[in-house]
Amino acid sequence: MKITKKRFVLIALFVFPLLFFLILSTGINNFKKLPTLTNTVSFHVLEDSISLTDHVTVLCFLGNDVATKKGGFFNLNQKIYKEFYGYRPFQIIAIYPTSSEDSVDKLKSDLSAFTDMSKWNFISMNRDAILSLYRNLKTNKILDSSLYSNQVYLLDKELNLRGRDKDGDEKNEIMYGYNIESVAELNNKMEDDIKVLLYEYRAAFKNKNKADRKN
C-alpha cells in the first residue's frame, strides 16, 4: 500500500508519542547519574544557620559588589529558581560578606517583587569563613577579590558537589559549577543537570518502595 503524505502524518502522530513514552518508561534503568566531583563537602560554618542535608542545594557567592553583579542572580532566579522552587527539597543558599548587607537587602527586595522567596536563603559571613567554605568545594576556580563568583554550585542531599565530568561535557572539561552570567549555560546545562539529579532521587525512591513491597 502506498503511503501518502497524509497517512505518513497520521502514523507519525501515533507512533512518535508511543516511542517517546517507551523511552521515558525505560529511562529509570538507563539514565546516567550526575557525576560526583567532590565527596561530602564540609559545611561546618553553615551548620548553625541552615540545613543542607536532605536538600538539593544551589550554592552561590554574592561578593561585595552586588549592584554590578545582580544581572547574574536575576538570571539564576528566572531560569533556575522559578523552574524548581516548587520541588520540596530544592533551595538556593547565597553567601555574602557582612559588609554588603545593604546591597543584599536591595537585591532581595528587587527579586521579591516578582518571586516567591521562600527557597532563597541569604547568609552573611566574615571573609575568612567565606574563603574556607569555598575552598572546601575543591573546584578549579577561586573567588575574586570581592568574594564573588559567577559560578554557582550544585550539592546533593549527602553534601556532595555534583557537576559534569569530561565525558559529560561537549568541551571535554570538568564542570564544577555553572556560569550565571550565561543564560545559555543555565538553560542548556544547569537546568538539565538539576532534572537529572531530581530524577535520580525519584528513581531511588521508587526502587526502595519496590524492594520494601517485596519484603
pLDDT range class, residue 19, cuts 50, 70, 90: low
Least trusted range by pLDDT, from 7-11, 17-21, 27-31: 27-31
Whether residues 5 and 89 fall in one domain: no
Secondary structure (DSSP) of 63-130: -S-HHHHHHHHHHHIIIIIHHHTTSTTEEEEEEEEGGGHHHHHHHHHHHHTSS-GGGEEEEEE-HHHH
Predicted pLDDT of residue 29: 40
Of residues 96 and 171, more confidence is placed in 96
Whether residues 21 and 97 fall in one domain: no
Distance CA 34, CA 193 (A): 7
What is the rounded average pLDDT of the residues 144-165? 96
Whether residues 22 and 42 fall in one domain: no
Instruction: State the total domains in the chain.
Output: 2
Whether residues 45 and 23 fall in one domain: no
Whether residues 89 and 17 fall in one domain: no
Whether residues 12 and 95 fall in one domain: no
Whether residues 44 and 146 fall in one domain: yes
Residue pointed to by grid coordinates 541552615: 50
Predicted pLDDT of residue 82: 96
CB 56 within 8 A of CB 156: yes
Q: pLDDT tens-digit profile of 45-78?
A: 787 778 888 899 999 999 999 999 999 999 999 9
Predicted pLDDT of residue 191: 96
Range of the domain at 177: 36-214
Whether residues 59 and 141 fall in one domain: yes
Buried-exposed string 182-204: b where 16+ CB fall within 10 A, e elsewhere = eeebbeebbbebbeebbebeeee
Q: Residue 172's domain is classified under what CATH number?
A: 3.40.30.10
CB 31 within 8 A of CB 196: yes
Predicted pLDDT of residue 172: 77
The rounded mean pLDDT for the chain is 85
Whether residues 58 and 161 fall in one domain: yes
